[in-house]
Structure formats: C-alpha cells, structure tokens
A = this chain, B = another copy of it.
Amino acid sequence: MTKPTPKRAWGQAIQNRDEQFEMKRQVVLRTAARTYSERGFHETTLADIAEELNISKPTLYYYFKNKDEILFECHRLGIEAITDGETPMPAAGSCTGRERLEEFLRRYVRMVVDDFGTCLVMTGPNALEPKNRGKVIEGRRKIDQMLRDILQEGAQDGTLDCPDPKMTAMFVFGAMNWLPRWYHSDGGLNIDKLTERLIAFVMRAIAADRCQS
C-alpha cells in the first residue's frame, strides 16, 4: 500500500549496458505514470518519483531531459498502445463495422486501464510544453478518428445505428476515459467482466439489431 513499487527494482539484472539503460528508463516511466495519475502532474515532484525509486533527483536527469519529457513519454506509450498494437486492427471492410467496433472498445479499455493509458487520460495534454503537446494532441486526434470511422462504417453497412458519429464517439470515449477514475485493479472487480459490460452497454446503445442480445 505504502510502497506499491518494489524496492530494489533498480540495479539488478546485469544485462547489456544499453538494455540496462533502457530498462531503467522504463522503470522510471512506469513509476512516473502511476504517480502522475494518482496525484496529478503538478502535484508530483521529481523528488517524489526519485524517492519512490530510492534514487536521487539528479539521477532522473541522467535518463531524461526534464520533467516534461517524462510525461511526454508516458503519453506517447499510451497512444502507441492503441495505434500500434502487436496485432493490427482488422482493416476497414474486412468485417462488419460492428465487429470492428467491438475490437476497438476491447483494445481501448485494455489500454486505458494500463499505467500509461491511465496517465494519458488522467493528466491532460495541457501540462505539456507546446511542441510535445502538439504531438500528443495529434495522436489523440488519430484515435478519435479511428472510432469515428468505425462508427461511420457501421452506419453504412447497417450493423450500427448512430445518427451522429462524432457525438456518439464522444459519449463512448467519455464512458471509457472516466474508467481510470473509479476502477482500480486491486478491487474486487475484474477487468474482463468490466470490459464485457461496457461493450454490452455501448452495443445496446448503438447496435442496429435492437431486439436481440
């Protein structure tokens, strides 16, 4: 509870030098993402992050340019978790809009419950410096467009019934982005059940065949 991050995760595992470096970077990022999400970006000091890792503040600067870059990397990883998943989204036309929607929701929920996704959604892009902010906003816009396209496609192939894809997309994103604020993986609620419930909710709202499950 007080120390969720395992101590001494720092200097173990004598691998290649570069791998070691990269690995430590990742550890910093995870810790930062969690802390940013819990307390907020501005409420989190670099000293906090350092303390949680049992290292000193200057050490952070050996791995990152500044506080802003740490946040940016968290956001970047969150965005990538959706845009470039290991298995690509089924291409448009390869299946019905409804099926693609379900796949998208499943991915998005998985992402948004992860440390980086949570961080992406909890700490807005406002905190970022202009240049990075632009990139993050662009990334989010792409994700936004993905869902809109899917809804559009579903409306055309007749598997979905939503009059206004843009607005509907916003409702759905809202429901999903709110999730990190109340769902905690350590609670009794398991994530698969949650995902199914959310999909059921959305599908009832916009699937075209309204008189079946």
Residues of A within 8 A of B (CB): 39-40, 42-43, 124, 126-127, 163-164, 167-168, 170-179, 181-182, 194, 197-198, 201-202, 204-206, 210-211
State in angstroms the CA–CA spacing of A111 and B53 once bound together. Answer: 42
State in angstroms the CA–CA spacing of A171 and B201 once bound together. Answer: 8
Counting every copy of the chain, the complex holds 2
**Given A174-B177, A204-B206, A206-B204, A197 and B126 contact (CB-CB distance below 8 Å):** no
A174 touches B178 (CB 8 A): yes
Q: Mind listing 17 A-B residue pairs with CB under 8 Å?
A: A39-B126, A40-B42, A40-B124, A42-B42, A42-B43, A43-B127, A170-B182, A171-B175, A171-B178, A173-B178, A174-B175, A174-B176, A175-B178, A201-B206, A202-B205, A204-B205, A204-B210
State in angstroms the CA–CA spacing of A71 and B175 once bound together. Answer: 26
Known: A172-B175, A174-B175, A202-B205. 8 other contacts (CB 8 A): A40-B42, A40-B126, A43-B126, A168-B201, A171-B198, A171-B201, A174-B176, A210-B211
